[in-house]
Structure 1
Amino acid sequence: MDKLSRLATAGIPFLFVISYDKQTVIAESLDNLKQFKVALHSKPSRTFKKKPKLQRSPIDFLEYKKAFDQVIEEIKAGNTYLLNLTFSTPIKCSFSLEEIFEMANAPYKLLCKEKFVCFSPEPFIKIENNVISTYPMKGTIDATVPNAKEKILANEKEMAEHVMVVDLLRNDLGIVGKNVRVKKFRYIDKIVTADKTLLQVSSKIEAKLSNDWHKHLGEILDAMLPAGSITGTPKQKTCEIIERVETHKRGFFTGVFGVYDGKNLESAVMIRFIEQGSNGLVYKSGGGITIDSNAKAEYQEMLDKVYLPI
């Protein structure tokens, strides 16, 4: 993390990539990107005449429910109130990782050559004019469901989950900044996929940073990671439960990546993530579990998030 502070203090534009467990921190100058390609808020750089074919081989529902039930028991015991449970889904795709990166229609895209591609809809933090903002995203519904927007906003389980994440991230921002406030609460983002359109619920929270925040960028990121939207609350205990319950290693999945342009910073949570495994491609996805969660609905949400955004 110290390297990030040094680069920011020197005003050097760079890309940073941080794994979920913060054990791997990579920084590359934007003038000399070697293993990565990055794109923020850009249109697809390439179009294809044929849509990519995506074949999923998800875990069995009973295997999912085994982990789900363990999480519910932890919630009943008071050890966690919200936990983001994730799994790996082996996939077969007619496109390469680089082709997926080029054609993906997503605000935050990252390619680690021959290793993984991420096309995330979820910002992590932005820092501009000494103001730090974060944008937790919790609550997903198929846009074709009748009155989808009204239903997702009225869903008590989704509301409780969202409120808990907002509260967690308010606390996280309070560690690094002052005058924390929820700027915008529970607004709808539309996400277009290869075979459906999803609605997701987001909020915006912001705080004021000191004028010399560049000198402390590494500390700011270290204090806020892993991201609350993909862990749960309370964060430390929930992360311990995730380590026991999940059947895969997250690696860079649910870590963060971002760009410091010499003055300001923008970053994203690494969700919507495809990884090159030893036996082929793996798509990692999941969702938040609360005491009111339904196992079949959460299993379906995990599957709905296995998509290609074109």
Structure 2
Amino acid sequence: MNIEFASKLNAFGKARTPFFFVIDYAAKQFEVFALDAVPSGILYQLESQSNACNLFTCNDVSWIKTPPSKEHYFAQCDAVIEAIKAGNTYLLNLTAPTKVEFSGSLETLFYTANAPFKLCYHEHFVCFSPERFVKLEDNQISTYPMKGTIDASIPNAEEMILSDEKEKAEHVMVVDLLRNDLSMVSREVRVERFRYVEMIQAGTKELLHVSSKITGKLDENWHENVGTIIAKLLPAGSISGTPKRSSVEIIERLEGYDRGYFTGVFGVYDGESLDSAVMIRFLEKTEEGCVFKSGGGITLLSDAQKEYDELCDKVYIPVF
């Protein structure tokens, strides 16, 4: 747990001071600001909170994508399967960077993208995430794991994704992981909704995502422990794996690149409630050019070609 991050959030929460926070996947880099002091280079939008201008005119976005090496990705999948057979993981979120030629500003992408959770960070990266991390409200914590993706144009797509044994097993495992995670910070944890389907615009196509809702009860003094609660839950279960610790070690060994803020979390506390999102659908400017980072869950039943196709399908701008 990042003690410095947790203590800063706890101090804001104890004073009921609204704040913004962002923390990377490895819980090493973070920024926390009082909500009225967020730098101009940071634009955020959550379902109920935003500091973005609503008068911005959206422009068409064009880019050229170079998918990652299929052979390399297949080899990584094989290595994950071997780790599963050895009992070191049961579900692992494997990600990869896709090179993108894009000459516009990330701020333009922020305003162009249609997503419930968005963040533009100093023209360094932009994310437009469909996935909430946790919401703390009315002495309750809720999380919404999203596992299972299919092209909505496929005939009987919803029936296919819900009946797919691999997708069901993956979803069950992440729900179980997050039930255990919430049990560390709350009581009376339960699954309120299990495997419901949502449609998301993915560039020129539509995707179906499968989600669940898990809740737990918080003590009334949760505000002064808000940072400790968030820190204990990192990294998010849906983008790491189960068991979490060994899965994270395997990810570090196999992925071969630095996730950075990708798959970290950001959020806003308004003095009464906190909302946050997992930073997926993520485009970053680097010294070598732009990269779009994406991934998916690997289980014993995974098919490498399907997983590769899903990774590539998630490289998109969800335009209005």
- Please report the TM-score for the alignment, with normalisation by the length of structure 2: 0.94
- 1:308 is matched with 317
Q: Partner residue of 1:281?
A: 290
What SS does structure 2 have at the residue aligned with 1:176?
coil
Number of residue equivalences:
309
Kindly indicate whether residue 79 of structure 2 is the aligned counterpart of residue 40 of structure 1: no
Instruction: Report the secondary structure of 2:184's partner residue.
Output: helix
Which runs of at least 4 in structure 1 moved beyond 3 Å after TM superposition? 42-49
| Equivalent position amino acid for 2:31 in 1 | I
Corresponding letter in the other structure for 2:200? I
Counterpart of 1:147, as a letter, is: N
What aligned pairs does 1:138-287 form with structure 2 within 5 A after superposition? 138-287=147-296
Which runs of no fewer than 5 residues in structure 1 stay unpaired?
none
- For 1:66, the equivalent position in structure 2 comes to 75
8 Å contact kept, 1:106–1:119: yes
1:114-125 correspondence runs (5 A): 114-125=123-134
Instruction: Give the drift of 1:189.
Output: 1.3
Higher mean C-alpha displacement, 233-242 vs 58-67: 58-67
Query: In angstroms, what is the RMSD of aligned CA positions?
Result: 1.3
Identity %: 55
Letter in 1 for 2:58: F
Query: Could you report, residue by residue, the CA deviation over 1:183-218 in whole angstroms, capped at 9, with x for unpaired residues?
Result: 100111111122100100000000000000111111
Q: What per-residue deviation string (whole Å, max 9, x for no partner) do you get for residues 85-104 of structure 1?
A: 00011101253201000111
Q: Alpha-carbon deviation of 1:44? A: 9.0
CA separation in 2, counterparts of 1:28 and 1:55?
A: 35
- Relative to structure 2, which stretch is displaced further, 289-298 or 51-60? 51-60
The answer on 1:4 being equivalent to 2:16 is no
Q: Which residue in the other structure is 1:15 paired with?
A: 20
Contact 2:134 2:275 in 1 (8 A): yes
* Distance in 1 of aligned mates of 2:87 and 2:46: 39
**Matching residue of 1:83:** 92
User: C-alpha separation between the residues in 1 aligned to 2:173 and 2:63?
Assistant: 34
Separation of aligned partners in 1, 2:185 and 2:66: 42
Cα deviation digits, residues 45-104 of structure 1 (max 9, x gap): 43435x311211111110111111110100010100000000011101253201000111
